[in-house]
């Protein structure tokens, strides 16, 4: 099914007449979205844009990432991110909440607020999670990880469970996470971003396809 969708997107792009306007998707996130520590062209949004362009997708990805942002910060920015020309939304927040050990129940409520605003605005949304480590204990991890699944079900939006999935898969294949991270050991380098983009890209193509129906 995904191959068929990709073909439809490519045909539409080549025809130039199937859709009147370029689909616009805002990526609401933190430093992982903003491209912290990287040249502009190596950040998540520029690399994702190039990947989607290569698939023939007629889409513009808008960078609404702010380094250091928590779910609360994202919620405060949602109204002005969802401008009338925005067709879709990628919500990739929660990493800083986890790093600061914030109450997962509060983080979940903030994400719920973002998804509710997108629903009211009739904007199709992809929720992107991040997997917590065990440093705050198993109860924290279980509650934090489960919040994304719960919200995906509650709002009937697709969930991409872990923004680092592509990087971790690539690291597993080559046996080293360090080669895909910046010196801080937290943020992906250009190669790490590329791995994440290649993994999430097909999911975003599905979102684009749905928006074009």
Catalytic sites, residue numbers = 31, 184, 187
| Euclidean distance between CA atoms 55 and 180, whole angstroms | 24
Residue 150: CB atoms within 10 A of its CB come to 15
Q: Which residues contact 186 (CB under 8 A, 6 or more apart)?
A: none
| Euclidean distance between CA atoms 28 and 38, whole angstroms | 18
The sheet carrying 159-160 orders its strands as 59-65, 23-29, 88-92, 124-128, 159-160
Task: Classify each residue of 96-130 as buried b or exposed e, where b means 16 or more C-beta atoms within 10 Å of its C-beta.
Answer: bbbbeebebeebbebbbbbbebbeebebbbbbbbb
């Amino acid at each position: 099914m995904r191959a068929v969708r990709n073909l439809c997107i490519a045909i539409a792009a080549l025809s130039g007449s199937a859709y009147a306007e370029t689909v616009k998707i805002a990526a609401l996130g933190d430093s992982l979205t903003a491209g912290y520590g990287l040249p502009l062209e190596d950040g998540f949004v520029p690399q994702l844009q190039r990947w989607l362009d290569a698939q023939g997708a007629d889409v513009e990805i808008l960078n609404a990432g702010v380094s250091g942002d928590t779910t609360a910060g994202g919620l405060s920015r949602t109204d002005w991110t969802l401008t009338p020309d925005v067709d879709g939304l990628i919500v990739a927040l929660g990493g800083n909440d986890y790093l600061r050990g914030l109450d997962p129940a509060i983080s979940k409520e903030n994400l719920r607020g973002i998804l509710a605003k997108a629903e009211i605005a009739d904007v199709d949304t992809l929720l992107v999670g991040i997997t917590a480590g065990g440093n705050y204990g198993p109860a924290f991890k279980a509650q934090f990880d489960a919040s994304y699944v719960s919200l995906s079900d509650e709002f009937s939006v697709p969930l991409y469970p872990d923004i680092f999935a592509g990087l971790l898969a690539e690291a597993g294949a080559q046996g080293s996470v360090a080669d895909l991270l910046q010196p801080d050991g937290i943020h992906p380098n250009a190669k790490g971003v590329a791995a994440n983009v290649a993994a999430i890209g097909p999911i975003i193509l599905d979102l684009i396809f749905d928006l074009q129906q």
